[in-house]
Amino acid sequence: MQIAGLEVRQLSPFKWEIPQDESRGMRVPGIIFIDQSMLEQAIKDRAAEQVINVATLPGIVHASLAMPDIHWGYGFPIGGVAAMDAKEGVISPGGVGFDIACGIRLLRTNLSQEDVDKVKSELMQELNRNVPKGVGKSGRVKLDRSEFNKAITRGARWGIGRGYGWEEDIEFLERRGCLAGADSDAVSQHAYERGHDQIGTLGSGNHFVEIQVVEEIHDEETARACGLSPGQITVMIHSGSRGFGHQICTDYLKVMERVTARMGYRLPDRQLACAPIKSEEGIKYAGALACGVNYAVLNRQLLTHWVRESFERVFRASARKLGMNIIYDNSHNLALFEEHQINGIKKELCVHRKGATRAFGPGHPDLPENYKSIGQPIVVPGDMGTCSFLLLGTEEAMKESFGSTCHGAGRMMSRSEAKRRISGSELKSALEARGISIMADSMPGLAEEAPDAYKDVSKVVEICVGAGISRKVARMVPIGVLKG
């Protein structure tokens, strides 16, 4: 099997290597965690070729990586992971994406499916009324520039300080809900204008609030540590940095194109435009990126508040009594400074994860005390017609993938193709016939996110488990979905 003329070598059942070819400018090999059938699809949509392109970036170490949910993206493939030497490497907006820190949050409850089934229609109506959603939708929180700068500097803690959440929520957010180094002066006025009234909004596309039931426990001990048991109701929230993050990416792509030309970088794809991490432009982008990360986590914090509020109204009990604690919050479009072992030497790296999730193993100092002995929880959504998973990070992931794993099912069909082939109204009827309540503002938008448009998330997860970079805790299935 070949990718862009290079012979691919299978290293293990779920690990394939693209050999380093210096004549193509590759500084490291490419490695894809995948099976043969999914690899063939990645070659067909040219996402695998993007793994080769990323391997040409200055300062990349070890390998250009991709997860099994790989598909074509801007610059990096979705599912791409690349670590750059923090002193000599580059930082690239194409390695993060437009929806900075788009991510998933999982809440537990003390409720059973029987409890929810009695009031599901009322609960879905309340969520639909209470959670702002949709393309360009404004939220209830509108901030002037001064207060907005405080919010994007402090992240989730800004929201909790104003009553949007509980103090203990912080413990279950990556980086405790605030990425250090945020520089509000590095954010344009246009980005502020797009984001100042969208905090606490769901957005559209593949973003959702989903009511789920735990259908299967794969590891009872770790499930207990996460507060999960069979038949229990959970809530999954998927959203990101909205127009604010999109504008940060747009602004800095233009900056990076100028830097790439000035530095004389010869890149196979202009969408990989980048700047040295230590350059003025690299430092500014990192500062703006941190603002985008903090915005996204704060956005999910406010959405959590609206969800808890909705459950309180329907069940006439406090969210605390309902046990609506956060299990974990993962972001999957990031460039983070982390320490990893390279050839036995601890080095500071800038790890780009584009449509990939952090998966730190047991004992990592960044993990909350509750999870230090088991590893980082990883929330992996499927699609609204199948299932989702809770996984854990592993020691093997720290060695093999810079502590990274998949982020979801991964698209197989473009949004435009999905709309051509699938009727949103027919899809809604089919899902509801299976007991999955759907609230969506747009039927074409619903068709874009049809289960048939995605890979099989169970297969993606099995590959990650088989490769040793994750292990399974629980599987959840949807019973109610709120879409933008």
Do the domain assignments include residue 21?
Answer: no
Q: Model-level pTM? A: 0.96
CA dist., res. 150 & res. 161, Å (int): 12
Q: Is 177 annotated as a binding residue?
A: no
Q: Is 95 annotated as a binding residue?
A: no
Do the domain assignments include residue 283?
Answer: yes
Computed from CA positions of residues 190, 192, 193, 195, in that sequence, does the dihedral angle turn out positive or negative?
positive
- pLDDT of 33-44, one tens digit each? 999 999 999 999
CA dist., res. 194 & res. 356, Å (int): 26
Q: Is 407 annotated as a binding residue?
A: yes
CA dist., res. 326 & res. 370, Å (int): 12
Q: Is 210 annotated as a binding residue?
A: yes
- Mean pLDDT to the nearest integer, 280-295: 98
Q: Is 254 annotated as a binding residue?
A: no
The pLDDT, as a whole number, for residue 224 is: 97
- pLDDT of 153-204, one tens digit each? 999 999 999 999 999 999 999 999 999 999 999 999 999 999 999 999 998 8
Q: Is 238 annotated as a binding residue?
A: yes
- Mean pLDDT to the nearest integer, 247-263: 98
What is the number of domains present in the chain?
1
Do the domain assignments include residue 4?
Answer: no
The pLDDT, as a whole number, for residue 286 is: 98
Do the domain assignments include residue 279?
Answer: yes
How many percent of the chain have pLDDT more than 90?
Answer: 86
Q: Which residues are annotated as catalytic?
A: 407
The pLDDT, as a whole number, for residue 136 is: 63
| Mean per-residue pLDDT over the chain, rounded | 95
Flag the least confident range among 97-111, 235-249, 297-311, 444-458: 444-458
Q: From the centroid of its chain, how far is CA 199?
A: 18
| H/E segment holding residue 224 | helix 220-225
- pLDDT of 467-483, one tens digit each? 999 999 999 999 999 99
- Mean pLDDT to the nearest integer, 382-392: 93
CA dist., res. 200 & res. 429, Å (int): 29
Answer whether 318's CB lies under 8 Å from 310's CB: no
Do the domain assignments include residue 370?
Answer: yes
Answer whether 401's CB lies under 8 Å from 33's CB: yes
- Mean pLDDT to the nearest integer, 369-390: 95
- pLDDT of 122-161, one tens digit each? 999 999 999 998 766 678 898 999 999 999 999 999 999 9
Do the domain assignments include residue 86?
Answer: no
Helix, strand, or coil (residue 74): coil
Do the domain assignments include residue 284?
Answer: yes
The pLDDT, as a whole number, for residue 42 is: 93
Show the domain range for 249: 102-412+454-483
CATH number of domain containing 222: 3.90.1860.10
The pLDDT, as a whole number, for residue 227 is: 97
Q: Is 71 annotated as a binding residue?
A: no
Q: Is 381 annotated as a binding residue?
A: yes
